[in-house]
Structure 1
């Protein structure tokens, strides 16, 4: 069936009396549209030239066509505008949007709404769209979905001023506002670092009588914390608790993480007190944020106390937490505490990794205790923990600085076998030391190793000394 026949069928069907109408006057249209979309043959001008706005609207509203099929037909018409004598108007867009939303095809509906509300070439002002929606006489449920979809599309595309227009319009017209859609907009404002707008919109949500969720509250708290306003974030949590909205552990963790990273320990104490008052329990992330903050500040004993509390509550204290505490104690030079933590890890079956040993090795280097450093290195290797290039380079450098060039050379050979190459300055350092103690044979061996991996002799400073 051609589009001309489709138009004639629709026109004839509309002109008949109800008693003479067939039970399905649109019965040929679905098959025609399917055939039209499925064909791979090019179309000529006459194929779509009989299509007019009224017929197009009737096709989009046809109950025998699935909303998804209408969407593809609409897209087909848009892509073949040179063959169609008109441009789909706002009513056509809204008719299809309504059907898509009813069919829960939200992504397609939002894409279509974006074309008439955001895209530069075919954009209508919000009030024109709102008026057209009302003229389409949608049932209340669909109208609600359309306006909430508008709010989301404007928000997703950064049209924050238009979002406020939609929100106010819905509030004034008594159209139900979806709090989850508002949460999406709060996320968008937070992502755009629009803190003032974020707070203003949240206040409008509260004042409009919306039932605020903990998710919206958490987004607002996160926005404040990102801007260093932890105290204000805590105060909003207290205010919303009085309105019946209780913060959850994620909300509190947002405050705790921000306070701990900024070493705002007085405010942190206030947050922890409020958390206890509201009966919200710590989770593993809470402890992680606290231990991170305390160790970075040097409050290692407090961090260790929290790790013990985690263990007592049945929460696994993993290697990462112990590494933080070991690193902190090493910075303070409290090696006895470090060794006790190693014992604790062993007793609790927590396996160390290279990052566990390295702060202790670095401390031994710093104080010149090479024997202690090598003892840690040997223990690492016995546990199957491999050294990386950075570790090898540091070990070689420290051996050289302490005049232990033979030990440095042995490490260099081991390093090469594992596919790592020491930096040229380190090799130069070893070569000079060999020359100073008249071990020119080892100096030549070192030079050969360097040349084999492509280092030019001109870049080696000890060449003349061994010639």
Structure 2
């Protein structure tokens, strides 16, 4: 269908009159002969412009397309005569006739990003498909708008277009769906990504292994490896076989979760399916073993790969350097570093960081600083990890001034301190007895949007615990008797740090001094023993507290459940959950989250789902951790 015919189909909405045609002719003449600049300087001509005239200008076959686009861009900047939706669609039709798809995409982007123009796809189609004989145009328009919405993160509208296309019987190309899947994954909207993939399967969109792997990768990055594995198995029944990339993605997912045995099972399946593990497979498994501090096994994996003649890359060398640095074998780490240079593999920031961190932990600051200078000379940019390792090293050596200087330098270099940097500083200042500076840095990191992590809180607990111990000793010196609050605070602090010997001594000291233990005292010790996996001691203490007339509360059960789950005893955790409910205690969010997470990690999805539903029925709202 021609653009003129298209305009006639729109005439029922905005019927043009002679004045509109006259204005359109005048503007078209100026654009053709003098260009857009002359039109900008002709306010008299523009004063008669309206939406009807704009449609006629865009549909004028004698006006060059480039002039139409110049005029369109001019109008977009003009607050008085901004083109309406019909004008946009008229221009799109003209562009479609001349197969200018890049320009169509630009105009569709203008619609997508303007809330005043954005409207359900059914409304757009009703404007362009007014009994015309060109359904191909409508189908192409829907397809392109689908991609544009996806690219712009306008997901609800994109899915609305998908639904319309499916309902209308239009062919939905997998390349368009890929755009939406990638965009959803990139934005962290994995629930929507997963459900959309399901709809694609139901809509008979051609599913490729690449599309499936996009979803698998997203699920694995969110920690939902069991769900990812189930999806692969399901898709195999539909004829979609995973490839090396899919298997490597799943292996990486299990390694991130610390489930190395599951990762190795996937590698075995991969080999059974005649897929040869590649450098990514070996690097991923070695990296997973390193996370579990199984350095010797990781080293064996990488040497096996090298023996098999696989081309190792910078990642392989980095893992090896990291392994030797972590186990304190810096001579071997340096040899690997030199070997990679001989083979023409350039060390990167990660390589240098592993070596610098190793030397700092050994107290060899001279060698570490030498490597720091070398990386700068070679144009390898230090990052927050580099600076954090050096800052921590200088603090441990007692060189406060050098640590401060490095912190100031990283700020000047535009390297943003992260939680690791602040942790090194906070811990260092506490160890120096400078509590005020440590506290100031903690407040500063929160103001700068750097989230404290477990190491931050451990540093704070450790620091304040040291201060509390000094105060405790001072109290005794000056004859002030510590009370139950004093003892409970210290026992809890030592328990959280894993100093159970100190915590137990304080517990016994209370008894000797006639300070009666209470539920809080027992809970602090039960939690402490649970954190280091000594569940027998935790349960014995629970028994003692009951004999002494103290009733276990929600916190007691929470500590016991968490301890059992940390030891991999989900069955014991479930028994404790049942027991506390029988006693009339209501499980809280932390207890449900711990058990559901523990069951999921052990592959007990049905049991985890049952508890999840139970939690919802109890009126407890889940968060992102579930």
TM-score by length of 2: 0.50
CA 1:34–1:209 in 2, change beyond 3 Å: closer, same or farther?
farther
C-alpha distance in structure 2 between counterparts of 1:240 and 1:270, whole Å: 19
- Is the aligned partner of 1:250 residue 2:245? yes
C-alpha distance in structure 2 between counterparts of 1:126 and 1:94, whole Å: 12
Checking the alignment, whether the CA contact within 8 Å between 2:219 and 2:227 is kept in structure 1 is yes
Checking the alignment, whether the CA contact within 8 Å between 1:326 and 1:359 is kept in structure 2 is no
C-alpha distance in structure 2 between counterparts of 1:118 and 1:60, whole Å: 21
Q: By how many angstroms is 1:308 displaced?
A: 1.7
Mapping 1:156-305, distance limit 5 Å:
156-305=151-300
C-alpha distance in structure 2 between counterparts of 1:91 and 1:283, whole Å: 54
Mapping 1:133-172, distance limit 5 Å:
133-135=128-130, 137=132, 139-172=134-167
Q: Deviations over 1:165-213 (max 9, x none)?
A: 2112111212121211111111222233322221211011111111123
1:92: which partner in 2?
87
Q: Relative to structure 2, which stretch is displaced further, 340-349 or 217-226?
A: 340-349
Q: Deviations over 1:273-318 (max 9, x none)?
A: 3332444444433333222221121222221122223323241354
CA 1:311–1:121 in 2, change beyond 3 Å: closer, same or farther?
same
3-state SS of 2:211 partner: helix
3-state SS of 1:321 partner: helix
Checking the alignment, whether the CA contact within 8 Å between 1:117 and 1:125 is kept in structure 2 is no
Match of 1:59 among 57, 65, 69: 57
3-state SS of 1:121 partner: coil
C-alpha distance in structure 2 between counterparts of 1:196 and 1:261, whole Å: 20
2:43: which partner in 1?
44
CA 1:201–1:342 in 2, change beyond 3 Å: closer, same or farther?
same
Checking the alignment, whether the CA contact within 8 Å between 2:122 and 2:164 is kept in structure 1 is no
2:539: which partner in 1?
none
Checking the alignment, whether the CA contact within 8 Å between 1:256 and 1:289 is kept in structure 2 is yes
Checking the alignment, whether the CA contact within 8 Å between 1:260 and 1:290 is kept in structure 2 is yes
C-alpha distance in structure 2 between counterparts of 1:145 and 1:244, whole Å: 29
C-alpha distance in structure 2 between counterparts of 1:384 and 1:113, whole Å: 51
3-state SS of 2:34 partner: helix
Match of 1:315 among 311, 314, 318: 311
3-state SS of 1:146 partner: helix
3-state SS of 1:39 partner: helix
1:16: which partner in 2?
none
C-alpha distance in structure 1 between counterparts of 2:107 and 2:140, whole Å: 14
Mapping 1:298-377, distance limit 5 Å:
298-312=293-307, 313-318=309-314, 319-330=317-328, 335=329, 349=342, 355=353, 357-358=355-356, 361-362=359-360, 364-365=362-363, 377=367
C-alpha distance in structure 2 between counterparts of 1:339 and 1:184, whole Å: 48
CA 1:231–1:67 in 2, change beyond 3 Å: closer, same or farther?
farther
C-alpha distance in structure 2 between counterparts of 1:93 and 1:389, whole Å: 53
C-alpha distance in structure 1 between counterparts of 2:268 and 2:183, whole Å: 31
CA 1:6–1:239 in 2, change beyond 3 Å: closer, same or farther?
same
Q: Deviations over 1:384-435 (max 9, x none)?
A: 78999988888888888xxxxxxx9xxx9xx9xxx99xx9x99xx9xxxxxx
CA 1:185–1:36 in 2, change beyond 3 Å: closer, same or farther?
same
C-alpha distance in structure 1 between counterparts of 2:116 and 2:94, whole Å: 24
Checking the alignment, whether the CA contact within 8 Å between 2:254 and 2:263 is kept in structure 1 is yes
Q: By how many angstroms is 1:223 displaced?
A: 2.1
3-state SS of 2:301 partner: helix
CA 1:363–1:6 in 2, change beyond 3 Å: closer, same or farther?
closer
- Is the aligned partner of 1:74 residue 2:69? no
Checking the alignment, whether the CA contact within 8 Å between 2:120 and 2:157 is kept in structure 1 is no
3-state SS of 1:247 partner: coil
Checking the alignment, whether the CA contact within 8 Å between 1:310 and 1:317 is kept in structure 2 is no
C-alpha distance in structure 2 between counterparts of 1:118 and 1:386, whole Å: 43
Q: By how many angstroms is 1:37 displaced?
A: 0.7
C-alpha distance in structure 1 between counterparts of 2:397 and 2:337, whole Å: 30
State how many pairs are aligned. Answer: 373
C-alpha distance in structure 2 between counterparts of 1:77 and 1:40, whole Å: 11
C-alpha distance in structure 2 between counterparts of 1:385 and 1:131, whole Å: 62
3-state SS of 1:246 partner: coil
Q: By how many angstroms is 1:42 displaced?
A: 2.4
Q: By how many angstroms is 1:326 displaced?
A: 0.5
Q: By how many angstroms is 1:347 displaced?
A: 6.6
C-alpha distance in structure 1 between counterparts of 2:44 and 2:204, whole Å: 56
Q: By how many angstroms is 1:144 displaced?
A: 2.3
Gaps of 5+ in 1: 12-25, 366-372, 401-407, 430-467
3-state SS of 2:327 partner: helix
C-alpha distance in structure 1 between counterparts of 2:145 and 2:395, whole Å: 64
C-alpha distance in structure 2 between counterparts of 1:219 and 1:164, whole Å: 18
C-alpha distance in structure 1 between counterparts of 2:85 and 2:354, whole Å: 65
Higher CA-based Rg: 1
CA 1:64–1:43 in 2, change beyond 3 Å: closer, same or farther?
closer
CA 1:347–1:65 in 2, change beyond 3 Å: closer, same or farther?
same
